[in-house]
Copies of this chain bind each other. A is one copy, B any other.
């Protein structure tokens, strides 16, 4: 069941996507990362642990920290226990469990450098291990400091995209549209968008992916504060020119989006990408407005809940210029 387009697309597929035209599956995942797996590198080389740590959710990141803290302390507690509790002062020696509990707490007091001193090392070996543990503790918190900073200072666009692409009437033709809006209190300026598409075509019976750049009506804006409706007119320069509703349904299409803007707080360029596949293209629908004046008429309210709200609309069967 090859879902390829069998007709000729007039626009040249000159887009250098970086993907071969016989890669498989979607090219860009919904979160903007490429849908590629690597092999031939071991796990330590395959993952940049810093990239990995930055992409973890806050909950998982903190959980990993807590687990690491407990594991490290258990290890050191075990070492102190092996060395012998007689090398530590202030240990409750009533039974082995209490001894282990006390060396565990001694370890944590050393690792965090809190060092109350109620339990303290006296022998050579215990002192040596404690010397090393306190050092390790400080380095660990040095790394944690860097990770925290890396996580929250990482420049991100914080854009929300509409779930669907709609194909709607626009001026005197039909257009493919999606919209996006910033949802946080960042200040984005000088935004631009690049949209390309991968269309599965069947040439001489062989399916392959062709890549096309989609021309955007207004591809740069000064301030990205309200929603931005990105419009690609389906005129004779569009690869979708002449497509019917059926063609959209029966062809594997992927719309790849990259938004770039300047964030004035980070003083840095931020980029966010996403992609839409065939299922997310709604033929014959137009978005409803998502911003309105405030009651006192002194500012503008942007309602992010409405970002994917659209209403059905009539379209001609084939997307050609409507006179």
Chain A positions near chain B (C-beta within 8 angstroms): 15-20, 22-25, 27-28, 32-41, 45-52, 54-55, 65-66, 69, 73, 89, 92, 101, 105, 108-110, 112-118, 120-122, 124, 127-128, 130-131, 134-135, 137-139, 141-146, 148-150, 152-156, 158, 183-187, 189, 191, 194, 196, 218, 220-226, 228, 256, 258, 262, 264-271, 273, 291, 293-294, 297-307
- Across-interface contacts of A17 in B (CB, < 8 A): 221-223
Nearest Cβ distance between residue A299 and chain B, in whole angstroms? 4
- Additional 20 contacts, C-beta under 8 A, given A37-B301, A112-B135: A16-B220, A18-B222, A18-B228, A34-B187, A36-B291, A37-B300, A38-B302, A39-B302, A46-B183, A48-B185, A51-B184, A109-B131, A113-B115, A116-B121, A143-B148, A150-B153, A154-B267, A189-B273, A266-B267, A268-B268
Q: Are B294 and A24 in contact (CB under 8 A)?
A: yes
Query: What CA separation (Å) do A108 and B133 show in the bound complex?
Result: 11
A299-B24 Cα distance, complex, nearest whole Å: 5
Please determine whether B137 and A142 come into contact, CB atoms closer than 8 angstroms: no
Chain B neighbourhood of A142, CB < 8 A: 141, 144-145, 148
* B298 and A24 form a contact (CB under 8 A): yes
Q: Select A185's contact among B47, B134, B152, B264, beta carbons within 8 Å.
A: B47
Nearest CB in chain B: distance from A229 CB, A: 10
Evaluate contact between A36 and B144: CB separation under 8 angstroms. no
A138-B141, A145-B146, A302-B37 given; A226·B267 CB < 8 A: no
A35 touches B109 (CB 8 A): no
With a CB–CB cut-off of 8 A, which chain B residues contact A228?
A: 18
User: Are A41's CB and B143's CB within 8 A?
Assistant: no
Whole-angstrom CA separation of A6 from B71 in the bound complex: 68
User: In the bound complex, what is the Cα–Cα distance between A258 and B149 (angstroms)?
Assistant: 29
A143 to B141, CA, bound (A): 10
Q: Nearest Cβ in chain B — how far from A280, in angstroms?
A: 17
Q: Is the CB of A298 within 8 A of B25?
A: yes
A52/B185 contact (C-beta < 8 A), A89-B118, A122-B118 known: yes
Do A37 and B294 have beta carbons less than 8 Å apart? yes
A50 touches B152 (CB 8 A): yes
Chain B residues lying within 8 Å of A262, measured Cβ to Cβ, are: 269, 271
C-alpha gap A47/B301 in the complex (Å): 16
Task: Return chain B residues, CB-CB under 8 Å to A226.
Answer: 18-20, 23, 34, 36
* Other-chain residue from B131, B156, B267, B300 in contact with A105 (beta carbon distance below 8 A): B131
Give the chain B neighbours of A268 by CB distance below 8 A.
267-268
Taking a contact as CB atoms closer than 8 A, the residue among B16, B101, B152, B184 that contacts A221 in the complex is: B16
Query: Chain B CB within 10 Å — which of A41, A65, A92 has the most?
Result: A41
Complex contacts, A122 vs chain B, CB 8 Å? 92, 118
Q: How far is the CB of A37 from chain B (nearest CB, A)?
A: 5
Instruction: Indicate if the CB atoms of B114 and A134 lie closer than 8 Å.
Output: yes
- Bound together, the chains give a CA A291 to CA B228 distance in angstroms of 37
Whose C-beta in chain B lies nearest to the C-beta of A15? B222
